[in-house]
Amino acid sequence: MAIKKKTILLDETDDFFIVKSAKEKILDEVPRNKKTNATLVSSSVGITTRKALAYLTELEEKGYFESEFKMVKYKSGAITKCRIFKRL
């Protein structure tokens, strides 16, 4: 009687995939010394704006970003105060 060998390696199975977390995606997608905001990050990564802001704040506390409040004008003509993050 032959014993069937089980797959124990991730490379040999299609049942599991290694994916990046939202924070890792943010760090990969925002180049160094470039500016962004939570709205742009949320649409790029596929999360809510509130969650993107929370992740950006957490990454700022770890030293990956710095932020400041600036006035931003949108295409619609609306002007609002927005938190701008700069990748370090």
- Give 45-62 as a 3 state SS string: HCCCHHHHHHHHHHHHHC
Q: How confident is the model at residue 6 (pLDDT cuts 50, 70, 90)?
A: low
For the chain, the distance separating the N- and C-terminal CA atoms, rounded to the nearest angstrom, is: 61
Global pTM value: 0.78
Query: Nearest 5 degrees, angle CA 51-CA 55-CA 58?
Result: 140
pLDDT for 81 equals: 94
- Note the pLDDT tens digit of each residue in 54-87: 999 999 999 999 999 999 998 999 999 999 999 9
- In whole angstroms, what is the distance from residue 58 CA to residue 23 CA? 9
CATH entry, 22-87, from 3.40.50.300, 3.40.50.10890, 1.10.10.10, 3.40.630.10: 1.10.10.10
The residue extents of the domains of the chain are: 22-87
> What mean pLDDT, rounded, does the chain reach?
89
- In whole angstroms, what is the distance from residue 78 CA to residue 86 CA? 23
- In whole angstroms, what is the distance from residue 52 CA to residue 73 CA? 20
